[in-house]
């Protein structure tokens, strides 16, 4: 690897570590730290973009409709925190890396690294940066891989989806001294989650979850238990959570947690934070200029920095809110109670530009004063174009 590339990678990791610790110190000074990991497609074309591939578009695709997207695939790890002044969970990126396509790896003569391997590496790195803190990582089905869960479960708690037809077993019986034969790795097989759904003897627990699929509150029936998730030659102990919508608007779903002592309601509360990741990806595209670079070097330097800038803007906006300098900007036809990212970005621009433009100089005695109402209108027009 070239020395410049090594230096750049090391510098990126150091900055990501500093940003993570800053975010945790401000937003999560105590208690568990919840992070989300997910990938996004940066749609870009051009002869100078070598790592581009063709992937499934997770936003535009559905269960019955497959949409392909051409571009670069980025994996981002975000701190998931509730911001009172925003009224919801925000995903704050601190570590982003490019996951090149298999075609690019083949052309470059390199070994292709699957998403699960990238996820394992990034999550273990995150846990190393937060020693002594309980770390909880939430992810979608892409990271529901037994090898990944087994590799990280001693360093952090992983929460993700679980297939309804997963092979679940009881723990193995204790090994008796002097017993002949191989030591058992699993006990008897448990019913599948599909069978538990159809079993009238299943004992469901009714709970209420906030922000379920974007709604304020939702009643769900929950069934939970512990098991060993086994695939031939691979296994990991989990707590499974089976969810059934009381109203019936959504299909039954299953989730897993590598902490078998975790409460089912906590697992669901952690997982619903994951949807803030997609909101962050969209905000960065709309307001910070992602997908506007057209060469490998520009993309490698700019995209991770723009995602990190989202978190820096949030930190600055949080400070302005604490000093009473920031509130939601409303129109007569669009009232709102909470701040949005466009409010935060405009307020940070205003703070930076106002301090720089209206400072007096001791060396220059001639000063042309702009009337205060005009200055305010000019600043608003420049800082809040959206």
Alpha carbon distance 249, 323 (integer Å) = 43
* Window from 24-33, 39-48, 114-123, 238-247 with minimum mean pLDDT: 39-48
Domain ranges of the chain: 162-174+184-260, 328-383
pLDDT of residue 212: 79
- Token pair for 182: 């191989």
Alpha carbon distance 212, 194 (integer Å) = 22
Q: Report in angstroms the alpha-carbon separations of 281 from 6, 20, 74, 244, 310.
A: 27, 18, 11, 29, 10
pLDDT in tens, 285-324: 888 877 666 666 667 778 899 999 999 999 999 999 988 8
pLDDT of residue 312: 96
Indicate the pTM of the whole model: 0.85
Does 177 score more than 90 pLDDT? no
pLDDT category of residue 6 using cuts at 50, 70 and 90? very low
Q: Report in angstroms the alpha-carbon separations of 118 from 39, 125, 230, 311.
A: 10, 11, 22, 22
Q: Is 131 helix (H, G, I), strand (E, B) or coil?
A: coil
Strands (E), 2-129: 33-43, 53-56, 68-83, 88-98
Contact 158, 149 (CB under 8 A): yes
Q: What is the mean pLDDT of residues 68-93?
A: 90
Query: How does the average pLDDT of the chain come out, rounded?
Result: 84
Alpha carbon distance 67, 61 (integer Å) = 5
Alpha carbon distance 157, 137 (integer Å) = 6
- Helix or strand (DSSP H, E) at 208: strand 205-210
pLDDT in tens, 94-110: 999 988 877 777 777 78
């Amino acid at each position: 690897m070239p020395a410049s590339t090594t230096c750049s990678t090391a510098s990126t990791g150091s900055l990501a570590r500093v940003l993570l610790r800053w975010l945790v110190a401000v937003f999560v000074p105590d208690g568990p730290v919840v992070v989300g990991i997910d990938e996004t497609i940066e749609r870009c074309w051009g002869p100078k973009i070598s790592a581009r591939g063709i992937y499934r578009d997770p936003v535009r695709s559905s269960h019955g409709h497959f949409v392909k997207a051409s571009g670069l695939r980025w994996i981002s790890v975000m701190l998931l925190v509730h911001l009172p002044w925003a009224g919801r969970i925000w995903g704050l990126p601190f570590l982003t890396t490019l996951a090149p396509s298999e075609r690019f790896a083949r052309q470059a003569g390199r070994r292709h690294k699957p998403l699960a391997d990238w996820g394992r590496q990034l999550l273990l790195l995150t846990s190393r940066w937060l020693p002594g803190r309980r770390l909880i990582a939430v992810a979608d089905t892409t990271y529901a891989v037994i090898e990944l869960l087994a590799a990280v479960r001693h360093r952090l708690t992983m929460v993700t989806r679980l297939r309804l037809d997963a092979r679940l077993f009881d723990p193995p019986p204790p090994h008796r001294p002097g017993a002949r034969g191989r030591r058992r790795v699993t006990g008897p097989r448990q019913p599948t989650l599909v069978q538990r759904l159809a079993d009238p003897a299943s004992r469901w627990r009714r709970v209420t979850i906030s922000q379920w699929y974007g709604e304020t509150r939702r009643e769900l029936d929950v069934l939970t238990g512990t098991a060993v998730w086994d695939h031939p030659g691979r296994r990991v102990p989990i707590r499974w959570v089976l969810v059934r919508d009381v109203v019936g608007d959504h299909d039954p779903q299953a989730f897993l947690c590598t902490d078998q002592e975790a409460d089912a309601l906590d697992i669901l509360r952690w997982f619903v934070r994951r949807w803030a990741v997609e909101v962050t990806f969209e905000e960065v595209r709309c307001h910070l200029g992602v997908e506007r670079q057209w060469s490998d070097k520009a993309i490698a330097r700019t995209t991770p920095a723009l995602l990190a800038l989202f978190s820096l803007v949030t930190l600055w906006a949080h400070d302005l809110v604490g000093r009473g300098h920031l509130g939601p900007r409303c129109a007569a036809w669009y009232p709102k109670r909470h701040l949005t990212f466009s409010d935060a970005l405009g307020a940070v621009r205003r703070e930076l530009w106002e301090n720089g433009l209206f400072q007096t100089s001791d060396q220059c005695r001639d000063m042309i004063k702009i009337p205060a109402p005009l200055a305010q209108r000019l600043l608003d027009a420049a800082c809040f174009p959206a």
